Structure 1
Amino acid sequence: MQIGNVTTPFGRRPMTLALVRRQIATTEIRAGKSADKWRVFRDVSEAREVLGLQDRSLAVLDALLSFYPDNELRQEAQLIVFPSNAQLTVRAHGIAGATLRRHLALLVEAGLIVRKDSANGKRYARKDRAGEIESAFGFDISPLLLRAEELAGMAQQVAADRAAFRRAKESLTICRRDVRKIITAAVEEGVPGDWETIEGIYIGLVSRIPRSPTLNDLRSILDEMELLREDVINTLEIQQKAKIIGTNDAHIERHIQNSKTESINELEPCSRAEQEAKPADNDKPKQETIRNFPLGMVLRACPDIVMYGRGGAIDNWRDMMAAGVVVRSMLGISPSAYQDACEVMGPENAASVIACILERAGHINSPGGYLRDLTRKAARGEFSLGPVLMALLRAHGQSDKQVG
């Protein structure tokens, strides 16, 4: 392989230390390494946005690779191509000269090729008596071989992100449709509830979707849209249960009024032992698993807890739980109350509840008693963290509008 020394660009083109490092790196390619040039080109095409390239840049790179005679880039081969601008223009589908120079510079800046300029800036090869290329000046494409694995990884990541983006977009579309139609049905059928406020939150979420959203934009809005959908469904379930209970109460009342007891045993009280042997269903605690909400959503609803994280930041659930312990102590909540909450709700949800209490600390007289009350409700399946987070998100949204 043609190695040579580090060379500087011809003419007015500046020299940078990055160019020096890239030229040195090409001398460190593993012995015997090889890669299919068109596979590498496909990886570059896939990752072009990450590399800062445009479609014309790919056309120029394709033209450069076409001047390399073999399909396989090899470490021991001569990896310098030396076409003239006129030849490159033809193979790059008639690209203009100024455009050609601009995209060659982009390929150099992206670290995919290195200039090997001659003394007069011309591109040519000098051959020995046997006809083998002794030295060449032009464009060194060995960085493509050096970075083959890196470029393949970048292409795979881009493909994975594209698939994740498509899934998130589909999920958000379905979630939007669900919320919109459920709200419409509830309003048309006269279901009790603050549907005007819920619809306002829905419209606010939809308006936050950018014209060209990123994956993070979609995930953030999807989290909140799913929370809103859960809130809407919970509201409908509560109304349905209330309707069923009301119907059953009326039915039982009519049954008592119309029934005539004929059995002596129905009027005879049972013994205390029999009563203790048959506990009432209402005495049995009903404990359900509480859903874990995304950390990002909790932090958006409860931003005050961030300052209690390590270094003033919370990057994961471990940091969140550590901050929860600090805030628990600051609020005067006993360790036993917090431990009970962790056992019933789970450590992540317990830390989230602490964050919610901190956010509303000015309105809660006894944080410890409040936490114990929520823990008891959670043990009976009567507490859901979703509506609390939604209320806080809603409050922050209203405050933002007032400030703006």
Structure 2
Amino acid sequence: MAFTQVSTSTAGARQRDRHENCTPPDIWAVFRALRDARCVFGLKPGHIQTLQALISFLRPGQGDTVFASNFEICRRVGGIDERTLRRHIDRFIDLGMIERHDSPNRKRYRVSSRDGRVVSFGLSLSPLLKRAGDFLDAAAELEETRRDQVFLRKQILVGLAHIDTIEPGSAVSENARRMMRRKLAVDEYRCLLDQVTNHLGQMSTVVDVKITTKLPANDGQTVRHLSKSEKEKKESERVESDLLPSVPTLTAICREATAFAPAGLRTWDDIERHAQNLAPMMGIQPGTFNEASKRVGSRRTATAIFILLQLGTRVRNYAAYFHSITLGKRADSFRPSAILATLSVSTSVPV
């Protein structure tokens, strides 16, 4: 039977050890990279388990050749049959990750002479180590792709939550959620995000059309209408002011929102501008923010943004909760002062 023999010659035993001990300390990092990127190289979980067992037989100072018998390897893998082991090893050999150096009797061992020459027969993992860069690059690329998928998926879910609060049972929402039951590619997620974003834009246009008021028939009605509207606006602002905290109290309690401010927040105009900048970062569409400002007042809307950000992870969906307390069923029962009083306990700020 034909066999391949690998020999290594050095000037002495110490030089032999330095040459033979070529197993790098990060061989397990190489293994983990290949494990994570196994689909790129056409490997299955069983192949990875076999490779893990092979690496576990390597010992410091003994090089990168595995001398264990098939029986011992099968035991360490978990009791697989020898036929499966041979199939796995052949797969690694075909991929250029392992080299088989057979002895005449198919035994695996290493012999050395007193002048430092070494002959090794076994399963060499040297090709695996030489291709470490390929595995590490593939694993890094897969991780970047995974992060992009997670980011796009979160953006889509935020948009869908906004659609569901305004248009329950939307066909766009149902179709998108049906598609996301399976794992999508990055391009598929981007296409789906475009669909959701476009639908949100159309919904904002519809809302703007609905709030357009009809002009009265004559100038007299116009004057009376404007006078009445001005009185209602002043009354609304007075009531709103009674229910809201002072600017110093709001900024002292809602430290999360204050931390993002590029400059000091001293007036309600500062608060409102900062809240308008924070809203998109929280997944709240500009159209929804503007509609809320018209419905419940700009100060109350800004206060809601500050409170939501301070609540943090206690709110699962910022966009849905914001819509609920400003435009939805909970708008009338939303009391900023009560929530701020509760938050002030954890922040040790008197209201």
TM-score of the aligned structures, taking structure 1 as reference length: 0.45
Alpha-carbon shift at residue 180 of structure 1 (Å): 2.2
Gaps of 5+ in 1: 6-31, 72-76, 186-198, 260-404
Alpha-carbon shift at residue 115 of structure 1 (Å): 2.3
TM-score of the aligned structures, taking structure 2 as reference length: 0.51
- Retained in 1: the 8 A contact 2:102–2:108? no
Question: For residue 194 of structure 2, what is the aligned residue in structure 1?
Answer: 223
Is 2:67 the counterpart of 1:94?
no
Question: For residue 36 of structure 2, what is the aligned residue in structure 1?
Answer: 46
Q: Higher relative contact order at CA 8 Å, sep ≥6: structure 1 or structure 2?
A: 2
1:77-115 alpha-carbon deviations (Å, 9 max, x no partner) = 843222211010122122222332232233333432222
Equivalent residue for 2:56, pick from 66, 82, 103: 66
Decide whether aligned partners of structure 1 residues 40 and 219 sit closer, same or farther in structure 2, where only a CA change above 3 A counts. Answer: same
Decide whether aligned partners of structure 1 residues 130 and 171 sit closer, same or farther in structure 2, where only a CA change above 3 A counts. Answer: same
Alpha-carbon shift at residue 150 of structure 1 (Å): 2.1
Structure 2 distance, partners of 1:210, 1:217, is: 13
The residue identity in structure 2 corresponding to 1:79 is: D
The residue identity in structure 2 corresponding to 1:42 is: R
Alpha-carbon shift at residue 33 of structure 1 (Å): 9.6
Helix, strand or coil at the partner of 2:118? strand
Equivalent residue for 1:254, pick from 199, 221, 240: 221
- Retained in 1: the 8 A contact 2:67–2:108? yes
Decide whether aligned partners of structure 1 residues 166 and 204 sit closer, same or farther in structure 2, where only a CA change above 3 A counts. Answer: closer
The residue identity in structure 2 corresponding to 1:225 is: V
The residue identity in structure 1 corresponding to 2:206 is: T
1:378-402 alpha-carbon deviations (Å, 9 max, x no partner) = xxxxxxxxxxxxxxxxxxxxxxxxx
Is 2:161 the counterpart of 1:177?
yes
Decide whether aligned partners of structure 1 residues 178 and 87 sit closer, same or farther in structure 2, where only a CA change above 3 A counts. Answer: same
How many residues are treated as equivalent by the alignment? 210
Decide whether aligned partners of structure 1 residues 106 and 203 sit closer, same or farther in structure 2, where only a CA change above 3 A counts. Answer: same
Decide whether aligned partners of structure 1 residues 252 and 224 sit closer, same or farther in structure 2, where only a CA change above 3 A counts. Answer: farther
Within 5 Å, give how 1:235-246 maps onto structure 2: 235-240=206-211, 242-243=212-213, 246=214
- Retained in 2: the 8 A contact 1:57–1:103? yes
Question: For residue 134 of structure 2, what is the aligned residue in structure 1?
Answer: 150
1:31-55 alpha-carbon deviations (Å, 9 max, x no partner) = x894521121121222122222222
Question: For residue 144 of structure 2, what is the aligned residue in structure 1?
Answer: 160
- Retained in 2: the 8 A contact 1:112–1:144? yes
Question: For residue 378 of structure 1, what is the aligned residue in structure 2?
Answer: none
- Retained in 2: the 8 A contact 1:112–1:141? yes
The residue identity in structure 1 corresponding to 2:221 is: R
The residue identity in structure 1 corresponding to 2:199 is: L
Within 5 Å, give how 1:195-206 maps onto structure 2: 199-206=170-177
Helix, strand or coil at the partner of 1:139? strand
Structure 2 distance, partners of 1:94, 1:258, is: 87
The residue identity in structure 2 corresponding to 1:181 is: T
Question: For residue 116 of structure 1, what is the aligned residue in structure 2?
Answer: 101
The residue identity in structure 1 corresponding to 2:122 is: G
- Retained in 2: the 8 A contact 1:125–1:134? no
Alpha-carbon shift at residue 146 of structure 1 (Å): 0.9
Structure 1 distance, partners of 2:165, 2:193, is: 17
Decide whether aligned partners of structure 1 residues 176 and 110 sit closer, same or farther in structure 2, where only a CA change above 3 A counts. Answer: farther
The residue identity in structure 1 corresponding to 2:89 is: L
Alpha-carbon shift at residue 258 of structure 1 (Å): 9.6
1:282-306 alpha-carbon deviations (Å, 9 max, x no partner) = xxxxxxxxxxxxxxxxxxxxxxxxx
Equivalent residue for 2:185, pick from 214, 217, 232: 214
1:118-174 alpha-carbon deviations (Å, 9 max, x no partner) = 345x14224123396722222121122211222112222222222222222222222
Q: CA RMSD in A?
A: 3.5
Within 5 Å, give how 1:379-390 maps onto structure 2: none
